[in-house]
Chain A
Amino acid sequence: MVETAITLAPPSRPGGLVARKLAAHLFTLLFLAAWEAASFVAPSYLLPSPVQVAQRLWIFVTSWRDLGHLGSSLFHVAAAIAISFAIGSLLALIPYYVPVLRLAIERRIGPFLNSFSAIGWTLLSIMWFGVSPLTVVFAISAVLVPFALVNMSAGLANLDPETIEMAESFTRRRARMFLLVIVPSLYPFIFATLRIMFGVAWKVTLTAELFGGNTGLGYMINLARQEFDTATIFAAIVLIIGFVHGMDRYVLAPLQASVSRHYAL
């Protein structure tokens, strides 16, 4: 089973900060230099130089057609995360309210979804839905559901029993308690889950698009591969790394940190 435990941010160690920053930047420069040197030796269809990739990247961000592919990849990711988060949370909530179904969901449905390979879902959905956005979204969602299920179950298992008891003494209406107590105490887990899903979704999306999509970055990479246009492949990879890392570091992580602080566990 894939475990998707939530880890907390490490405490940063002060001291030698400047030296470490310097080393990191030096490493980047060294890496680029090594890449440049290697690209002199290797033919450009094997390894394009960093300059070529940067040029291709510039063309990428100024061309509407290429940006359209990025947009449709984003759409696939967002749609799949929304769908699988809803399904996974629902599956996690069922055993909480109907304990007799716990074994069915946590020992039967969960492990099955968890061990079915991503490629299996992708190729299967191509057979069912043809080459279309629906195929891509279906395949990504199927892969993401177990991640949502495992994490949300962990969240529900960590609910504070004292808080629930207090809430029970205030109201007996389940819906009210769910909205005002259970959902807010789950916020940190919801954000952590979404963050993990975002990372995994990008890994799967490109595969799904490459085999079963007619738009998106994966499709673009596939075209470039057939034309031996390696610079485009590199540009797409660089773009994805930048985008995924940037989103995670500068949007999701601060958001999660502020939510965790707010609803301190």
Chain B
Amino acid sequence: MRFEQPSLRSALAERVIGEGVVLLALLAWWALARGLPEFILPGPVAVARRLVELLATPEFLWHVFTSTWRVLVSIAAALLIGGGLAFLAHGVPWLEGVIDERIKPVLNSFPSIGWAILAAIWFEPGDFGVIFVEVAILIPFCLINIAEGLRNIDRELMEMGRSFTRRRARILWRLTLPLLVPYGLTATRIAYGIAWKIALVAELLGAPSGIGYLMLKAQIAADSTTFLATCFAIVLMFVVGERLVIVPLERRFARR
């Protein structure tokens, strides 16, 4: 591809068309919704109004908060377990086959709904079941990324580290972990995206609270307006979390 210096005018045109597409989509939605009953497709205005209403109710915010902390705890736990497995495979050679050939493929192709149903059978509905499912879904993504990072560690650097100290903990803390940070961040980013997209399944089947539970309730009551508003609330949550947490983290560690 040839990169031409983008002139101000073409950049402006790009911007205008970009926002125009959004506007056009909203208009098309509005036009389509006018001819349809509300339980099939409510108009954008109704959904936006409901979204604002929902964001002003403490109960809804509490559900959002519940889902959010479950997602965050799950990501942390999945990073720890996935990272631990990757370290084991890296450090203990005879375990490599066990982890790469057995644990990874099984976790990787385990259907997410399978975890959700098993958790619904095994545990009481509640936080633990949901977090169990989300962690189980997220582990393979963390494992794969951190293993990739460990594989790409510069051998020369490790050798240099060993020539300075023989204490393994020191090498791990000062060398291995900082080198792994970019991969850990990628893992976090992927896990974050997947968690909001797929892990909410757990709340549909086995939770008396959270956004998934709200969505199911709205869907059963054929309350499309609330349902769509909840969907957009998730999009909003996702974008806000990414802008406020993930992007600054990446920027901070990319500079080093």
Residues of chain A touching chain B, judged by Cβ–Cβ distance below 8 Å, are 1-3, 5, 7, 10, 16, 19-21, 23-24, 27-28, 31, 45-46, 96, 99-105, 107-109, 111-112, 114-120, 123-124, 126-128, 143, 156-157, 159, 161, 164, 199, 202-204, 206-207, 210-211, 218, 221, 225, 228, 230, 233, 236-237, 240-241, 244-245, 248-249
Contact = CB atoms under 8 A, between A and B. Distances in A.
A240 B114 contact: yes
Nearest to B141: A2
Contacts of B96: 20
A237 B114 contact: yes
Nearest to B122: A46
Contacts of A102: 14
Given A28-B102, A124-B227, A2 B194 contact: yes
Contacts, number: 171
A177 B58 CA distance: 58
Q: Which of A115, A119, A221 has the most CB of B within 10 A?
A: A119
19 contacts: A1-B193, A1-B242, A16-B93, A21-B97, A23-B97, A111-B239, A115-B197, A116-B235, A117-B234, A118-B197, A123-B219, A124-B227, A128-B40, A206-B112, A221-B113, A221-B117, A237-B111, A240-B109, A241-B106
A241 B115 CA distance: 12
B40 A23 contact: no
Given A111-B239, A233-B117, A123 B216 contact: yes
Interface string B116-127: 011011100000
Given A115-B196, A159-B1, A245-B106, 20 more contacts: A1-B189, A3-B189, A7-B144, A20-B96, A27-B102, A46-B122, A100-B14, A101-B21, A112-B235, A116-B231, A117-B231, A119-B212, A120-B215, A123-B215, A161-B1, A202-B111, A206-B111, A237-B114, A240-B110, A244-B109
Interface size class of B (residues with CB under 8 A): 35 or more
Q: Which of B109, B189, B224, B242 has the most CB of A within 10 A?
A: B109
B186 A237 contact: no
Interface of B: 1-2, 10, 13-15, 17-22, 39-41, 93-98, 101-102, 105-106, 108-114, 117-118, 120-122, 144, 148, 151, 186, 189-190, 193-194, 196-198, 200-201, 204, 212, 215-216, 219, 222, 224, 227-228, 230-231, 234-235, 238-239, 242
Is the contact region of chain A dominated by helix, strand, or loop, or is it mixed? helix
Contact of A104 (B20, B118, B193): B20
A226 to B, nearest CB: 11
Contacts of B95: 23
Contacts of B114: 206, 221, 233, 236-237, 240
A161 B4 CA distance: 13
B109 A127 contact: no
Q: Which of B17, B189, B227 has the most CB of A within 10 A?
A: B17
B151 to A, nearest CB: 6
Contacts of A101: 14, 17, 21
B215 A119 contact: yes
A189 to B, nearest CB: 14
Which 8 A/B pairs are nearest by Cβ-Cβ distance? A2-B193, A20-B97, A103-B18, A24-B97, A244-B109, A120-B231, A104-B21, A104-B18
A124 B219 CA distance: 8
A119 B204 contact: yes
A115 B198 contact: no
Contacts of A127: 39-40, 219, 222, 224, 227
B100 to A, nearest CB: 8
A111 B197 CA distance: 13
A115 B121 contact: no
B13 A115 contact: no
A118 B198 contact: yes
